[in-house]
Amino acid sequence: MAQKIREPQGYPTKDAAQRANDDMWRSFKKQFQEKPITYGMVFALFGFVVGAVMFHHQPDWGDTNNYLFNYLTISLTVGLGVLVTVFVLNELQKRREKNELSRQLLIDIQYGANDVALNAINRLRGYDEDYGWLTSENSIFDGKLLRAARLQGSKLSKANFSNARLQGANFQQARLRRANFQGANLNVTNLRNADLRFAQLEGVPLHRALLQKAYLNNANLKDANLHLASLEEADLRGTNLAGSSLYRTNLSGANLSNCSLVGAYLEEAEFSTGTVLPDAKVIEIRDSQRMYDKYYESDQGPSQMLRYTDPHHPDFWQPDWVKDKEAPSTDE
């Protein structure tokens, strides 16, 4: 019985063969770029082996004219030089690509429309673990100009905005929990409905900032400048407002429960009967709304706030968390 001959499997056309060859070459280049040192060592070792085979007829290693010894010495030196060069060039290329990527992401966030900025922020979060471009001291926002940036609805929890110039930026409904704004400028910034819980805003200028219905629970606003800012119905429970300037600030309907106002400047600040006082306690929860036992009383006027701002007031009050901070340590 005649044996069936298996015909070789090839490509149907010359173009298909060329495309396959191109794909293989691109795949190889990609792998080489990812592991240049590994491939460099393989090529160097291959060269050494080829050279050794070519000069195997010179067995006397002690002979000063031993061509194999000389060849291997020169090859090793050249090979190491090639490896170092490949490594250095590869690292420089990676650095250029990394810098270009961070530059482009920052431009999209600075000047892009809202959808473009949000897409860039999503990508930025993906690179944060490797490069720290969002939350670490290597943040691309540190000291940068982000005036009027369209960042509404963005997810920027734990973002580092140290020393950034954010005047007029739109952070409406943004997630900024535990964000760091130390040294930043937030004048005239839109932070309506933003989540700023536990955010670091100490000493930050927030002149005419829009903070209506913002969540500022446990945020640090010590010594912040809130001149003419709008904090209507803002949640300020447990917020540190010690030493802050609240000149003509609108606090109508704001929840100041358990916040610190010692040393705060409240000249011409605006309150309403819906403003919850710092020492108020929850007495009832009705339709998911907290009801308190103390609200601002219009007939008493601004003088009722002195017991929260003046430490020499006979009825001075401050939160327990402030007292715990000021209490001397008992650790031995």
Strands 282-286 and 289-292: what pairing?
Answer: antiparallel
**20: nearest Cα among 28, 8, 11:** 11
CB atoms within 10 A of CB 116: 14
Of 77 and 301, more confident: 301
DSSP 50-103: HHHHHTTT---TT-TT-HHHHHHHHHHHHHHHHHHHHHHHHHHHHHHHHHHHHH
The CA distance from 122 to 174, in Å, is 13
Q: What is the pLDDT of residue 210?
A: 98
The CA distance from 85 to 198, in Å, is 48
Taking the whole predicted model, whether its pTM rises above 0.95 is answered as no
Predicted confidence (pLDDT) per residue in 96-124, tens digit: 888 899 999 999 999 999 999 999 999 99
Fold of 140-332: Pectate Lyase C-like (2.160.20)
Packing angle of the helix pair 36-54, 67-111 (nearest 10 deg): 160
**233: nearest Cα among 218, 209, 254, 210:** 254
Predicted confidence (pLDDT) per residue in 156-168, tens digit: 999 999 999 999 9
Structure tokens at 321: 């968390």
Predicted confidence (pLDDT) per residue in 180-233, tens digit: 999 999 999 999 999 999 999 999 999 999 999 999 999 999 999 999 999 999
**148: nearest Cα among 118, 111, 117:** 111
pLDDT band with cut points at 50, 70 and 90 for residue 62: low
pLDDT band with cut points at 50, 70 and 90 for residue 22: confident
The CA distance from 253 to 235, in Å, is 9
Residue 110 parent element (H or E):
helix 67-111
Predicted confidence (pLDDT) per residue in 124-146, tens digit: 999 998 899 999 999 999 999 99
Beta strands in the chain (DSSP E): 282-286, 289-292
Q: What is the pLDDT of residue 70?
A: 63
**Torsion from C-alpha of 296, 300, 302, 304, nearest 10 degrees:** -70
